[in-house]
Structure 1
Amino acid sequence: MEHPTVSSPCECHYAGRLLDGSEFDSSYKRGSPTTFAPNQVIKGWTEAMQLMVVGDKWEMYIPMEMAYGPSGKPPKIPGGATLIFIMEIIKIKGDKVAKQMVFPTWTADELALWLDKDEAACQSWRAGRSEKWEAGDEKLRASYPTREELDAFLDKGCESSKNKSLWKRTRTAKKKAAAPSASTASAPAKLTKDTARALLTKALDTFKEPANKEKLAAAVKECEGAGEQADMMKMMKLMPMVTEMVGPTLSEYGFGSSSADAMGAITQVSAFGEEDPSIKADVGMLMKAVQGDLSAFL
């Protein structure tokens, strides 16, 4: 698989909306895809497109710092707006580079797709290589002179096998789940100002729990070494983690457990921000956490 370089023209379909659900642009509604290179669009797209391959269809939550900033793009995009995009790459028309796999932090449900037989096969492979090394296999001994080096190779091999399998299986599962969703999905929960405030308070309290703070901080630290793509990697890793953490709270208030459900809840909660300034401030705090700014919780 290959992804585009920063200057490679790509044929794409997309739709963009604000947190209140209002759509401001859609190539789908225009009836034809649009062509542009990653370096010709907002920073959030620039980074995301270079991580995508043909056929990928992502839902992205892009903060103002990676979109149009405090000034926005009037009249459709107000200043300081967080943008939500559905985007898919149909064709890469320019140079390509081999895809560098960036695996997310797997949720408990996703990890369940790694079966006992998969783990058994991995451990069997590991045991076989270990036995050959112990028996003096020349090739293995030359490549991994010490036991520590061999164990590191075996650990990496098993981890790579697991991540690649989960990546393929989660993509397949999401595609299958999406097919009947339009006809079978129940109507989203409806919040009042009071229930929105209560949901938001519980969600923020979840992030303050020591174990969750430690987990989020570790993910942010891991992403810091990704250079120019660190910001996008933070969102890719943190959004599923945050969704899993607040899953019980979302369920309590009638929402599903996906990232889309989480953003749907945030959309409803943020709509009460003008009536209740504390909601507006805390939604901002929550969105900063998803972007990797955990200062309010440390």
Structure 2
Amino acid sequence: MRIGFVGLGNMGGRMSARITGAGSPVLGFDVLPDNVTAAGATPAASIEEVTDGSDIVLLSLPDSRAVEDVVLTGVLPRARSGQIVVDLSTASPESTTRLHELLGARGAAYLDAGVSGGAAAAEKGALTLMVGGSAEVLEQARPVLELFSGSIFHCGPSGSGHVVKLLNNFLNAIALSATAEVMVAGKKAGLDLDVLLAVLNAGSGVNFATLNRFPKIVHGDYLRGGLTNTLMLKDVNLYVELVARLGVVSPNSSGPLASFGLARALGYADEISNTVVDALGDLSGGVRLHSGGASS
């Protein structure tokens, strides 16, 4: 199966590197050409060239607008029967189902495959994939997807993968923003932050952020390379739109919306979302959890 990849940034580049590292060539396109070669892919001159030269086209793009632009202008006009397009972005489920229908009319298949685990899991080939679309098509794509993932879940029909991704990212956003607030409070209270984290991780306050993020952040390592504050805010807004359509009340969305909105407003828009703790610290008297500068 010939593999194409469009969008070789923070996540796409790492996924492509896993594929090429396993000995499978990738035909790649990115708005920044250096990203293609850095990911070990063969540069393509256009999205159309990737589509023409691939049996499976992987997409890793920042939002639904970018996905629609790539698919509608570059992929769809050249799509053919039997071809598989896999969207690894975090996108609107409504947009996803529309693209699924359009590609299906040309005989091509479309899978929405939200990813979880961040840059570290991508580098290890241990991402979790939540996939919507045909189960049969997923089995055809599985050998490629397994090159950069540790767990693959079929979540249901088209759009289901992106719905599950939004639910997951909302909980991730709550855990990160709430833990950031707690850690700033712990710092101002004069606590040993390593001890505080040990207590949280042994108690009922444990979450992904306390286990995997803040043990590094408190020593100045922000784990750069993952989701930015801008993209986290985008994901929470997509979640709010989703639950509004479903008729589900969302009193808990105000916290992460405020936290990541503040981070954007205070100059951390394009920084990794872990820097939300610095934004909260800025408004709490210039608090930093560590004494040195942030490591890259």
Q: Same fold (TM over 0.5)?
A: no
Structure with the bigger RCO (C-alpha within 8 Å, sep 6+) is 1
Structure label with greater radius of gyration:
1
Q: TM-score, normalised by structure 2?
A: 0.25
Q: TM-score, normalised by structure 1?
A: 0.25
